[in-house]
Amino acid sequence: MTEDRFLERLRDDAAQLRFTPADNAPIWTRIPALVRGRMHADTTVSTLLARWFRPIAASFAMLAVVAALSIGWVETREPAFNTESMASNSMEISVDGDTYSLAE
């Protein structure tokens, strides 16, 4: 294992870029005001519809993807029926007690 101190050097370099506001900075009053403002903001029709439509659209999209993948998987797993195998088997249909045969 190498003695590379990449993460320590990265933390030291990032510490110089970190912003630490002073104790009396106005940011400490603005942050809670912004949070309260977002919490008590009036809901518009577009945001209400977006909150309901996005999960529904995502559910339908996931359902479509699953359906497409499962159809592709089922079609590759099932053998295709050919006309010879269908012609060699006789088929009988029963209607109101009468039996009809569909043989050659």
**pLDDT by residue (tens digit) across 86-103?**
666 677 788 888 888 776
Q: Read off the DSSP letter of residue 89.
A: S
Separation CA 104–CA 89 (nearest Å): 9
Query: pTM higher than 0.95, yes or no?
Result: no
**pLDDT (tens digit per residue) in 49-79:** 988 999 999 999 999 999 999 998 888 776 6
Q: How far, CA to CA in Å, does 42 sit from each of 30, 48, 49, 69? A: 20, 10, 14, 42
Contact 78, 85 (CB under 8 A): no
Q: How far apart are CA 56 and CA 103, in angstroms?
A: 51
